Every structure is written in C-alpha cells, then in structure tokens.
Amino acid sequence: MNVNSELAKTRKRNSKGKFLPIHGLSKTRKYKRQTRQKWEKSLSNEKKEKLKEQCKKSRKKGYKNISEQRKKEINERRNKWRRQLMSSPENRKKVNEQRKEYRHKIGISKNYGSGKSSGGGRPISSKLTEQEKKERKRLHNIKYKNNKRGAGKLTIKVIQLVYEDNIKQFGTLTCYLCKKPIDMQLKFFGKIMSEHLEHKIPLSKGGTNDYENLGIACNRCNCRKHDKTIAEYFKYLNKKGVKK
C-alpha cells in the first residue's frame, strides 16, 4: 500500500469535501470562519440579496475592464477545448444527446428525430409517406385554385396597360418597389427572369387581378416580398437593415 493512500483514509474533510491540512486549522482561520458565520446570521434576507447583486455587477465590470488581448486568449482557449472535445465521434454523440435532452426539457423540439416535423414545426417532405405527400399536394392545389377564382380573370389587355404605364411613368421598365431599371438580359437556367408581374396585395390575402393591384417588380424584390403586402415588405426591410 502507498503511504499517501493510508494518509488519505485518516485525514479529515471539509463540509465541501476537501481535505483539511494535516496540522489542522490555524487559529486565525478558525477565528475568521466564526466571525464570518456570525456576520452572515446577523444579516437579513434583503441585505443578502443586495450583496449578491453587487457581487454580480462587480464581476461584470471586471470582465469589461479586461484588455482585448486577454479576451482573445480566453476565446482561443475555449475554441481549442471545443475542437479537442468534438474531434472524437464518441464525444460528438454525447454532446448531441445532451442537446436533445435540453431541447426536449425546454419544449423547443418535441418531435425532434421522430420525422413528424423539422425545427420550425413544418412537416419534413422527405420523411412523409407517399399518401401524406399526395394529400398535401392535393390540399395545396385546392387552395391555389380557390385563390385564383376569387381573384378574377387576368386578361392580356390589363397586362399591356400595366407595362405601358410603367414605361410612360419612368421612361424605361423599372421596379415599382426599388425604383431601379430592370436588366432585360438577366437569365436563370436559360430563361429570362428580369421582370415579374407582381400583385401588390397577394392572392393568399384576398388580392385580385385588377389593374390597380398589379405592378412590375424585379426578380430580387418579388422574391423578397413573397406573400407580404407593401407595408409589411418595407417593415421587413427596415428590420433586417436591407438596402432597397
């Protein structure tokens, strides 16, 4: 048997489980502990909470006062530790399992891994059965047809008026959202994708195919706008900080 292991059995431990020194606590340390315990008992709960808040604020201030070089060193050490931890496949599995358990507890992804939904709650098409895919497609087609019927017929005369009025107003074919001229040579997979006939109020929100509800937009603006109204679209741009 080693001498250190025999000493470890005989040595006493603290309340935290740490070993006490062999010669025992000094008188000064005992006195400090006793005085601290008395002082803590004399404090009220309100004072204890205030002291805790002060400690938190002082820690935050201390972290802010650290130099930028020191912060970089700390971040580099963390990144090295993470790389070492995630380098082995066993550790990766453990970390992924811990993340799943944490998400299930919070309720972020209740159907995570079951194939019922992706992260945002939308059903995953790759994990659906053939019958579910057919039903989903059928419902989508019914919704699209109903929106089209409510919008009315789109005639060639109305389309011609929209294009002619746009050219008269701006001189050239321009986007009514970003007020920039449209590039007529822009192509996507061999097809011209320069301009789009766009609904100001989308069909999914009760829009019609009337002249007043139609406008010409560029490919970028129409894809960004998607199913938003004009007011919602400009709010979206302001939130994201996107240039018009």
Looking at domain 153-240, its CATH class is: mainly alpha
3-state DSSP call for residue 17? coil
Q: Angle, to 10 degrees, between the axis of helix 89-106 and the axis of helix 68-87?
A: 110
* Pairing relationship of beta strands 195-199 and 191-192 according to DSSP bridges: unpaired
Contact between 217 and 176 (Cβ < 8 Å): yes
Residue for token pair 């025999």: 6
DSSP letter assigned to residue 2: -
Please enumerate in sequence order all residues whose Cβ is within 8 A of that of 176, keeping only pairs 6 or more positions apart, or say none: 166, 198, 215, 216, 217
Closest CA to 204 of 225, 234, 175: 225
Q: What is the pLDDT of residue 119?
A: 45
Q: Comparing C-alpha atoms, which of 226, 218, 223, 221 is closest to residue 243? A: 221
Strands (E), 8-138: none
Contact 81/87 with Cβ under 8 angstroms? no
Q: What is the pLDDT of residues 180-219, one digit of tens each?
A: 888 777 665 556 667 888 999 988 888 888 999 999 998 8
Structure tokens at 226: 């998607």
Q: How far is CA 11 from CA 2, 8, 25, 42, 88, in A?
A: 15, 5, 13, 33, 39
Q: With cut-offs at 50, 70 and 90, classify the pLDDT of residue 19.
A: low
Residue intervals in the chain for CATH 1.10.30 = 153-240
- What pLDDT digit, counting tens, does each position of 134-147 carry? 888 888 888 878 77
CA distance 149 to 169: 31
- Kindly report the pTM of this predicted structure: 0.44
* 216, 235 contact by CB (below 8 A): no
Please compute the mean of the pLDDT values over residues 114-122 and round it to a whole number. 47
